[in-house]
Structure 1
Amino acid sequence: MSYWLLLLYFITFISYLYDFFSDRKFLYNTKRIFLFVTLLFHAIYLVERTFFLGHLPIVTQYEIFSLLAFAIGFTYFLLELLSDIRGTGVFILIFTLLFQTKSTLFIQDVYVPNSVLNNYPLGTHVITAILGFSAISISSAYALMYLLLYKNIKTNKFNVIFKRLPNLEILEQMNFFAIIIGFILLTIAIIIGFAWLPSAFPDFSYWDPKIISTMIVWLIYSVGIILKLRGSITGKRFAKFSIYGFILSILFLLLTGTILSGFHNFVN
């Protein structure tokens, strides 16, 4: 089922990619249907996996990657419905394809989970963190679009990038709004974690690699938001900040899920 899901994401991404670069409009509305069907299939996949495992699929980093793919795709789907801006999808859905590819290729179906997974606060903690990171991913996509459009305008290249993307002001606003949403969700996840984790884990430590990395990401984005509100970083500089912040977040996620492990490892 996971490979069928990956195929659907690939078809959806190709439809958005083709529509972005083609002057033909026969996929203009169809691509949204492809995305809806893919997300529906993904939701069914997550529910089926939850019943199969007996808990939320939040144990391994590859399960987290699949949830990230769904969260990013679903968030973009809502943004497209509300704003009717359809030219940005290819830059955001590439993340869903990459995350789901990583999940499909390396996910495990057999492992012994930690009994703490039956605790409801854990689900809330993890889901808010995943939604926060998905918002950060989307912000970096808007930042990338900003830089591409900025380069096109500076070099007087009024090509498909210029024609399809919203203006620089809208892209910067979407980038900032996505960062604000991600920051709020990460803050909620951190608060829940600090309130609940010490009582749930006997080996709890504030020096856990995932706690440290999350706090570093949170502090970096809090400084970035403050500087943005003060007008110290805007435009191209803020777009670069968003991309660097996303790269750092992904590196921390990979490192804490593989090399640096702590009590956040839910597999016995």
Structure 2
Amino acid sequence: MANITFNATLLIYLIATLGYTIYLANRKPIVKSISFFSLGLGLFSHTITICLRSMETGHGPYTTGFEITSFFAWVIVVIFFITEWKYKIKDLGAFVIPVVFLILLYSAFQSREYSLIDESSTMFWLTMHRTLSIIGYAAFAIAFGAAVMYLIQENQVKNKKLGVMYFRMPSLEVLDNLNYKVIAIGFPLFTLGFMTGSIWNVKTDESLFSWDVMRTWPLIAVWLIYCGIFFGRLLVGWRGKKAAQGAILGFVAIIFSYFFHVV
């Protein structure tokens, strides 16, 4: 049953992706409504999928690559709905939902096998590590979408070519503010995820960090990038184009580190 709802979710997210992309071009309210409804239906189906999977495995979506990747996509959609409700940025979906679809599509090719887990104190820290990290990643995905929109707008202003897209997207100030706000939420959560991962590591092999070059160092690189963005804004006023470029670089680093750390 979980496989059926998963496939349905993937299809619905594809419809939502196409809808938000088309809406960016034609701005027809009916297209926006269909896209929003489709995404909501997809989130409902996705939630059912995760619940069914958890009932089947006896644990939450945090042990296998398939579960974690699917959960990653789910959290992005949840944060997207919160962001759209608060900021009313109608075009954000065209830059975020395709990412959701691609992430879930990737999970479709991962193994869905599972095994029973040991419900010990070490499992608690691993669960906290992965959950907090994924929520942080999802916030960074929203920042990525806002950053792409910012650079598009900034390029039009810089070149003094105010095309149709300029008048359809929010102002540079709104996009820059959104970029900062979601990173300000995501960075502390990701940091806590990093810390709980270290605690889990201590409890399992008695070392603070796993110095695996392919698994740990990419995560450190991601943390350093977002640390620079977060404190750069607070301390030296690093905002605008630099912050947007940093958010895009950070999310690319996340995809890279995610591949080696989870898969």
TM-score, normalising length: structure 2: 0.88
Q: Deviations over 1:16-72 (max 9, x none)?
A: 111111142222333222111110110000010111122222223332221111111
Matched, 1:207 2:218: no
**1:235 is matched with which residue?**
240
**2:25 is matched with which residue?**
21
Q: Greater relative contact order: 1 or 2 (C-alpha under 8 angstroms, separation 6 or more)?
A: 1
Mapped partners of 1:66, 1:240: distance in 2: 27
1:207 Cα deviation from its structure 2 partner: 2.7
Are residues 74 and 117 of structure 1, via their aligned partners in 2, closer, same or farther at CA, if it must alter by over 3 Å?
farther
Are residues 117 and 155 of structure 1, via their aligned partners in 2, closer, same or farther at CA, if it must alter by over 3 Å?
farther
Equivalent AA in structure 2 for residue 39 of structure 1: L
Mapped partners of 1:216, 1:26: distance in 2: 43
Are residues 257 and 45 of structure 1, via their aligned partners in 2, closer, same or farther at CA, if it must alter by over 3 Å?
same
Mapped partners of 2:28, 2:221: distance in 1: 46
**2:170 is matched with which residue?**
166
SS of the residue 2:29 aligns to: coil
Comparing 202-211 with 68-77, greater Cα deviation is found at 202-211
**1:154 is matched with which residue?**
158
Give the conservation status (yes or no) of the 8 Å contact 1:59–1:113.
Answer: no
**1:115 is matched with which residue?**
118
- How many residues are treated as equivalent by the alignment? 256
Comparing 24-33 with 81-90, greater Cα deviation is found at 24-33
1:232 Cα deviation from its structure 2 partner: 5.2
Matched, 1:89 2:108: no
Match of 2:134 among 130, 152, 158: 130
Runs of 4+, deviation exceeding 6 Å: none
Q: Where is the helix percentage greater, Structure 1 or Structure 2?
A: 2
Unaligned runs of 5+ in 2: none
Equivalent positions of 1:1-268 (< 5 A) are 1=4, 2-104=6-108, 106-112=109-115, 114-115=117-118, 119-199=123-203, 201-202=204-205, 206-209=209-212, 210-231=215-236, 233-258=238-263
Equivalent AA in structure 2 for residue 110 of structure 1: E
Mapped partners of 2:132, 2:209: distance in 1: 20
SS of the residue 1:94 aligns to: helix
Let me know the Cα RMSD of the aligned residues.
2.1
Mapped partners of 1:214, 1:23: distance in 2: 39
TM-score, normalising length: structure 1: 0.87
